[in-house]
Amino acid sequence: MLKVGITGGIGSGKSTACRIFALLGVPIYEADARARWLQIHDQLLRQQIIEHFGVESYLPDGSLNRSYLAQTVFNCPEKLQLLNSLVHPRVREDTAAWIEAQKMAGKSYVLKEAALLIESGSYKQLDRLIVVTAPEDLRISRVLQRDPYRTVEEVKAIISRQLPEKEKIKLADFVIYNDGKQMLIPQVLTIHRQLLAQAQKLSECT
């Protein structure tokens, strides 16, 4: 079974591309959403976060205090690195268990979706990489429309912390251009067919 990563900078439209893949029956592991779930439900991870960042990391109802953690780590690379060092190993274990379950179910290929798939280095554990890209001004516009509470400066700050699009594309096996000029669905369908063919070839060789 092929393990395929899909990533893209904020506002690139990777979530939209993932929805199309999902409609085609492709299982998708949403790493960022799963990481948030683990921070609440994984008892070991929860204890570690409280130990390093305080009881304020969780709200009285037990949910993650995302605004507190974001403010704590956003402008402090050392604290962000510490938080990632706690979360990423648990996500890797969770991903491995999920992939094994999909393999047992006979899936041809799966997608792991994450914003920092390349930056975290986790793309190296995957067989193929899809990068969704779009012009920066369009990405900023999309994020402001989606998240009206953000400012242009905040979005630009997030973009500055992510690997430049050109560098991501260099590492990609497939690129989806979500620039508003090229249709998204035909691009996804083409990649889907190619991945199915590659998965079939892999199956015949093993």
Type of residue numbered 145: Q
Type of residue numbered 206: T
Which CATH code fits 1-27+109-199?
3.40.50.300
- pLDDT tens, residue by residue, 109-130: 999 999 889 988 889 999 999 9
Q: Are 162 and 12 in contact (CB under 8 A)?
A: no
Strand ranges for 48-200 from DSSP E: 109-113, 128-133, 174-177
Q: Are 2 and 199 in contact (CB under 8 A)?
A: yes
Residue extents of the structural domains in the chain:
1-27+109-199, 32-106
Classify 106 in phi/psi space as left (phi over 0), alpha (psi -120 to 50) or beta.
left
From 66, 167, 152, 43, select the one nearest 116 (Cα to Cα): 167
- pLDDT tens, residue by residue, 88-108: 899 989 999 999 999 999 999
Q: How confident is the model at residue 30 (pLDDT cuts 50, 70, 90)?
A: very high
